[in-house]
Amino acid sequence: MAQAAGMSRQFVKSAMSAPFLERAEERSLAVRWREADDESALHQLAHAHMRLVMAVAMRFRHYGLPVADLVQEGHVGLLEAAARFEPEREVRFSTYATWWIRASIQDYVLRNWSIVRGGTSSAQKSLFFNLRRLRARLAQKGDQGAHNAHQQIALALGVSIRDVEGMNARLSGPDVSLNAPVSDDDSNSAERGDFLIDDNPLADEVVGGRIDGERRLQWLNEALQTLNERELRILRARQLQDETKTLETLGVELGISKERVRQIESRALDKLKRNLLTRHSEAGLSATGLPALA
């Protein structure tokens, strides 16, 4: 630990003592790195801007992450800026690099601040990094009430009030393990996860139901093959379609009375029932367990 602290102090001292670059020198180093892959030029350019990396990293120290890690991620952003920098645009490298340093650190904070990922969209990222600042600014103006403050923040950042409330709740406390005891007084206390209720069926019940359903559907298709053409047509129109046909409609189509259609339907259903019970009684199929036709 002491060795790591010593190295950190040495790094800070080295970065703070690095000379500032004049515009012409800065441009020359950028050109050498971009056009000739001169690693010495890249090192000088990066070393001269490490104080900028540390300054940006310190803005994110209140998220509870190690400052050394923030600086390291900022250095990654600095190197990315050096790879993309175009000296011919006559823009100072520090101005261009600041965006890449900040973006790299922000991505690191979003990935590591909480186990639960958040802030995937640009609006959510803006909410995550600006909520505390806007909330503090509104607090300085006086007590306006939580709802009114959330409304103003939502309007300023272009997000919904629900998003503001959700992010505010997330930033109000750290992650809590579901395996943590509810009470600190009793070592045998129930865990927080014990109070999460899931009304959905268990996985084995879902799989079992799916397998049973597929098997019964196969049985039904086999039994339907025992019907003649007219019986099958009536049964499909009356029982196996989303929009069923009336007895009268089928009677007109088949040239018979609706009573005759009812009789054929009843006979077909009885035929199916006998077939299923005869062929699959060994599987425990009963009259109440037949596939539904409705």
- Split at pLDDT 50, 70, 90, the class of 56 is very high
> Taking a C-beta distance cutoff of 8 angstroms, is the pair 231, 223 a contact?
no
Asked if the domains 7-113 and 203-289 are classified in one and the same CATH topology, the answer is no
Q: What is the pLDDT of residues 102-130, one digit of tens each?
A: 999 988 888 887 766 665 667 767 777 77
Domain boundaries, the chain: 7-113, 119-173, 203-289
Residue 100 has a pLDDT of: 93
* DSSP calls for 206-252: HHHHHHHHHHHHHHHHHHHTTS-HHHHHHHHHHHSSSSPPPHHHHHH
Residue range 145-163: average pLDDT?
76
Give me the CATH topology for the region 7-113: Four Helix Bundle (Hemerythrin (Met), subunit A) (1.20.120)
Q: What is the pLDDT of residue 283?
A: 55
pLDDT per residue as tens digits for the range 122-152: 776 777 777 777 777 777 776 566 667 777 7
Q: From CA 62, how far away is CA 263, in angstroms rounded? A: 80
Which pLDDT score, from 0 to 100, does residue 211 have? 87
CATH number for the domain whose boundaries are 203-289: 1.10.10.10
Question: pLDDT tens digit string along 2-40?
Answer: 444 444 667 677 777 777 888 888 888 888 888 888 888
pTM exceeds 0.85 = no
Cα–Cα distance for residue pair 268/274, rounded to 1 Å: 10
pLDDT digits (tens, 9 = 90+) for 191-241: 777 777 777 888 888 888 888 888 888 888 888 888 888 888 888 888 888
Average pLDDT along the chain: 79
Give the pLDDT confidence score for residue 46 in this predicted structure. 87
